[in-house]
Amino acid sequence: MLDACYYSLIERTDDGRFIGWVPDLPGATAIGRTEDEVVHQLTRSMRQHLHDLLMSGQQPPPARPAEQLPSSEGRQEVRRLLLIIG
């Protein structure tokens, strides 16, 4: 597996849970009670998504720089994290 770096967005919902997703890898999402839980789930989800792409002969999509990520307009963005999969 190749090394890959993608930004994830994590926000807190009104009911106190955390949700996270990787804008450049549609389907790589996670929901949890804590940020740590979401980061762990996102890492697994990213790894599986990248594995599936490679096994089907597709190239992983390019990662956007942080300044090109979607804005948090109207949402309670908690943080942007660079997740590294090796």
Q: Are strands 18-21 and 4-12 parallel, antiparallel or unpaired?
A: antiparallel
Spell out the residues 6+ positions from residue 46 whose beta carbon is closer than 8 angstroms to its own. 4, 6, 8, 22, 25, 28, 83, 85
Q: Which domain holds residue 34?
A: 4-85
Give me the residue label for tokens 């389907």: 27
pLDDT tens digits for 18-73?
Answer: 999 999 998 899 999 999 999 999 999 999 999 998 899 998 899 888 888 877 66
- Residue 82 pLDDT grade (very low, low, confident, very high; cuts 50, 70, 90): confident
Domain with residue 74: its CATH number is: 3.30.160.250
Whole-model pTM: value is 0.81
pLDDT at 79: 80
pLDDT at 83 over 80: yes
Q: What domain count does the chain have?
A: 1
Q: Name the CA radius of gyration of the chain, rounded.
A: 13
